[in-house]
Each structure stands twice: as C-alpha cells, then as structure tokens.
Structure 1
Amino acid sequence: MTDWFYADTTHARRGPVPATELLRLYQARQIDDRTLVWRDGLAEWVPLDAVRGEFASAASPAPAASEWTLEALAPAEANVEGAPAPGDAWRPVTESAHTTAVAPAGATASASPYAPPTAPVAGAAAVVRGGPVFYAGFWKRVAAYLIDGLVVGIIGMVIGGIALAVLGGILAVGGSGSAGSIGFVLVQVLSNLLSIAIGALYYAWFHASNMMATPGKMAVGIKVVRANGERISLLRGIGRYFSTILSALILMIGFLMIVFTERRQSLHDIICDTVVVDKWAFTDRPDLQHDGLGTVAIVVLAIFGALFGLGLVAIVAALLFASM
C-alpha cells in the first residue's frame, strides 16, 4: 500500500498516511484539490487534483466525479480558514511546530524511508506542465529591454564613474606623453570590459534567480525559463547574455527571429535552449496568462517612442539649421 504525505492548512507536512485516509480527509473536506501531496516516486509535490486518478481503488464504492471537484464544495467550506487563496505561491515546510511526533535524541532526519525530497519543498515554486503556455511577443520583450537598459545604464555610470576616476587619478600621477596615450587606451578598454561585466552579471543573476526575470521583465509580466519550464542556471544565463551580442552583431536579425519562430524564440534563446513566457506559465494558474502587451509595456513603449521621435526631430532641425 502506498503511503502519502500532504500539506495541511498551516503549510506543515503531515504523514505518512494511506490512500484511504487521504481520501477520507478529502471527503470530510479537510483537504481539497489544491492541497499539495507527495508519495515515493514523485519528483516533487503536486496538487491532489493532479493524482486523484490513483485513488480510484482506495474507495468502496468509488467517489462520484463531483466529489473530486472543488466546485462541488459549498463556498463557505471551500475556503477553509488559513488555506491559501487560489494562485498563491506557497509550499509546505518540512519541519513545523505543529508536528506532534518528537524524534528521539540522536535520531537523524533521514530515518524515515517515507521522507520526501526536501529541495523541491523548500525551494522555488514547482514547475507545473501540461497547461497552455503564452510566449512573450516581440514588443513586450522590447519594452522589458528598454527598462533593463535604463537600469543597467544607471548602474554602469555610477560604478564606471568611480572606477575610471580612480584609474584616471593613478595614470595622471604616472606622467604624460606616450604614457598618457597608453593610459587613455587603458581607460577605454576598462570602460568597455566593465560595461560588459555589469550587463552579464545583471541579466544572468536575475534570470537564474527564483524570480526568473530581470526588473524589466517583471514589470511587463514575463520570465525566462528552459524550454521545459525549469529555471535556468547562472552559467546558462551568462551564456545567454553573450549570445545576445551575437544576435545584435548580425544586423539585429537574431532579435527579429522572435517574430517568425514558433515559440517566439530569438537566436540567443535557440542557442541556450530558453524561452520567454508569461509569468504565470508553468504554474498552477496558467489561466491568469494573457497574450496582450499589458499596461506597463504600452506606457514604456509610448514614452520611449515619443523620446525617439523628439530625437529625430531635433536631428533634422539641426541639419536644416546647419545647411542654412
């Protein structure tokens, strides 16, 4: 008989219990379809609704289909006090003050053969596959890049200004002539290397974090993940950043590929096996995804579009004035 663990309304781990007991708790409405459960053989905690087919033989007679749907519960009973609201990102803890059994002195946490893996429980939200996935379009990604470019530019100016001021002071003490020319070249090289390093760390760290998105992407509601929905590693994030340079070097064709590829992948996405998706993709609430630009993206594009237009007008006016 398979033993199960489940998360109670306080997010504490309970179990092991047999399938019949889990079914009894469900029918008593002490747990529901959103309750996270785990058994030996599952890679991570999953909602009860995802594995309810395994309980068909646990009931005699088997429960009606309506008993397994959240809609069949009375509204007042479906929202049990202390239960998370639908869509809340939460995971059960592996240790809790609510645990009644106390391990004897000298016992280790791995003594129970039923202990589920701790990494998926304590880490980021689980990847939920099988639902629809909305891939981020070209203009939404442009809006995110504009925000991130502004943030990286400000960070680069502050850090670069300090570093170059220190280096410039050191070179100024060193003398003039050929030494000054060499110093100027060193300053330019350092400035370029510093700019690349800041960009690489910024994009790679945010994309590899639990948010899976830079501030710009978070603002417009998108994230970067592996093709299977998993979070990317820091090393892959660094590789993806340098791949964007390649996308730009070939006349920006690498970025324009977003418009023509099936999953709206750019060249650097294809190289690094990544996709840019809605922030609710690969979660337990895929219904919250939307394929439109969104308010933030529209506002950002409008502001930068207006600034770009004003810049063109200023350039044309300067050329006309110079030709007079």
Structure 2
Amino acid sequence: MTDWYYHLPGQGRVGPLDADDVREAYRDGRVQRDTLAWHVGARDWQPLDRFSETLGLDAVAPPVMAPQVPATPAATAFESVDRASPYAPPRATLSEAGDYLGDAGEVVYAGFWKRLAALMIDALVVTIAYYIVLFAGLIAFGVGASGLFSGNPSGSPGTIALLMAVIYLAYPVISGLYYIGMESSSTQATLGKMAVGIKVADDAGRRLAPGRALGRWAAHLLCYLTLYIGYIMAAFTQRKRGLHDMVAGTLVVDRWAYTAHPERQQRGLGVVAIVVLILGALATLAYIGIVAAIALPAYQDYVNRAAGVG
C-alpha cells in the first residue's frame, strides 16, 4: 500500500493516507487538482492532477465548490487564478518560523561535479588551517624538542608525544569541527558549498542537527574504505547521494531548495564551480608533470646502472 501526502496552506502536510482517503478528500472538496501531493517513491511534490491516473480521480465525481468569497485586499487576482487552475505551478505559504519550506515544489539536487568543486575548496581550507596549527605547534614545542637533541632530555618525551599528537590528530579534529559546525549552522554549508551555491539538509530538507552532522562527517570514512566509490555514487544515484549521504540520511541540494524561492535554483555548474574545476585539473596535470620529471630520470639512471652491473 502506498502512503500519500498532500499539503494544505495553513495546515501543512497531511498524511500518510492511502489512495481511498485521497479520493475521498477530493470528492469532498478538501483537496483540488492543483493541491501539492507526494507519495512514497515519487521524486518531488507535484499538483494532484499529475497523479490523477494513478489515483483514478477521473472516475470520482468532481467536488462541489463553495461560492467564491470576495478576495481580501491582501489577496491578488493571480492568486485566485492559481488556486483554480490545475496547471498552476506548485505554491505554498512560507511559515513565519523561518526560511525552511519543506513542500516548496521541485528540488534541484547538487550534482557530482559541483560537489567536487566544493570539496576542493573545503580541502584547501582545512589543509591551510592544519598547517597553521602544525607550525604553531612546532614553534610552541620547539624548545622542548631541541632539548632532546641537545642532550638534555628532561621533559622531552612528553613534548615529543604532544608534538606527534598535533601532527596526527590535528587534521581530523580541524576537519570535524569545520564540517560539523558549518553544516549544522544556519547556512547549512561549508565555505566550499557556499561558494558554489549548495547546502546540506536532512531527508525532509531541514537543517542538520549537530549529531546528524557528526554522523555524516564520520560516514566519509566509508567512502575512503571503498576507494572513493562512495563519492562517485553521487553521479549516478537518483537524488545525487553519496554513500555517506545514504548512511546519514542527508541530501545535498541547491541553496534555494526548501525555501520560499525554489525558482531561484540553478541546475548548471555556475562560474565558481567551473573555475575551481579548471584550476584543479591544471594543478593535477602540473603535479603529474613534476612527478614524471623526477621519476623518469631516476628510472633511467636505475636502468643504466642495472645494465652496467649485468
């Protein structure tokens, strides 16, 4: 049995309901053809008219409409047309509680390349922060470390242990604080995601709680264990979800998704993402060239020496 939901202005989401309940609501006039509806397995909220064949609405007697009440000064003429037309775009009322609007029409999910551009920016930010902390640690522990090599080991083992802790633990700690803090903040996005115009949300489009943001960050480990296949999954799954998104129950969407202005969502990469991807490709080619310039002469020298020994 399929669970159905529909959205009524001023009441929010109603459901779960079965198909008979939806037909009865239509027969009674509680819902109309342009009422936003969704069922389990559907991609986005759509006008109920889109599901007329599935629900068999054409076989149901049309609802008896109440006489039109004169519009209040706050209402506009086009709003009345939108409510009466089955072809009107999905509309819903923004809650006074905030910008989140869970039933706001179509959702544009962030694709693989846009997410890769955001990841490149975030990796650079975290790496810079790591080296700042590392250099600060080297300076702070420099006196104790030098004591070990000058023959005065007093207190040096503890100093070296702290230095090793900074070297090995600073990066994951900085990464965790960065991703968890920013993705559970009001922006719902890291600096990289903000730069390319995307954000992270839960399955219903809401802001992540810190606990779920922590789970999403920890789930990145699964992508590493699968040799980055977990990340590549975002290019092929229906809602552009990586393995870590599936585990944590999260989505990466356009920054205007689930707001009062879903029409501002963009499907393209955008200028920032394109520039970052180009710079990343050039940096990768430069790195490969440097490695080749170092490795090939060394390999040739090895071959020549091996031939001379033989």
State the TM-score bracket (shorter-chain normalisation): 0.5 to 0.7
Quote the residue 2:273 is aligned against. 297
Q: 2:251 matched to 1:275?
A: yes
| Equivalent residue runs for 1:72-111 within 5 Å | none
1:71 deviates by 9.8
1:200-247: per-residue Cα shift (whole Å, max 9, x none)?
A: 000111101111001100110100000100000112112211111221
| Equivalent residue runs for 1:1-324 within 5 Å | 61-63=68-70, 67-69=76-78, 120=97, 124-173=98-147, 184=160, 186-322=162-298, 323-324=300-301
1:149 deviates by 0.8
Quote the residue 1:32 is aligned against. none
Q: Secondary structure of 2:141's partner? A: helix
Check the 8 A contact 1:164/1:191 in 2, yes or no.
no
Check the 8 A contact 1:168/1:187 in 2, yes or no.
no
Q: Which amino acid is 1:268 matched to?
A: H
Distance in 2, matches of 1:317 and 1:162, equals 33
Check the 8 A contact 1:225/1:276 in 2, yes or no.
yes
Distance in 2, matches of 1:262 and 1:60, equals 43
Distance in 1, matches of 2:173 and 2:165, equals 12
1:298 deviates by 0.5
1:183 deviates by 5.4
Structure 1 unaligned spans of 5+: 1-36, 44-49, 52-58, 73-89, 93-119
Q: Which moved more, 1:186-195 or 1:288-297?
A: 186-195
The CA RMSD measured in Å over matched residues stands at: 3.4
Distance in 2, matches of 1:314 and 1:207, equals 36
Q: Which amino acid is 1:192 matched to?
A: Y
Distance in 2, matches of 1:240 and 1:276, equals 12
Distance in 1, matches of 2:106 and 2:95, equals 22
Quote the residue 2:25 is aligned against. none
Quote the residue 2:61 is aligned against. none
Q: Secondary structure of 1:69's partner? A: helix
Q: Which amino acid is 1:167 matched to?
A: F
Distance 1:61 1:318, change over 3 A: closer
Distance 1:300 1:69, change over 3 A: same
Distance in 2, matches of 1:173 and 1:91, equals 63
Distance in 1, matches of 2:190 and 2:209, equals 14
Q: Secondary structure of 2:137's partner? A: helix
Structure 2 unaligned spans of 5+: 1-8, 14-34, 37-65, 82-93, 302-310
1:120-169: per-residue Cα shift (whole Å, max 9, x none)?
A: 2xxx4222414101111111101001011111111111122212432343
1:65-85: per-residue Cα shift (whole Å, max 9, x none)?
A: x9542599xxxxxxxxxxxxx
Distance in 2, matches of 1:91 and 1:130, equals 11
Give the number of equivalent residue pairs: 230
Distance 1:217 1:71, change over 3 A: farther
Percent identical residues: 36
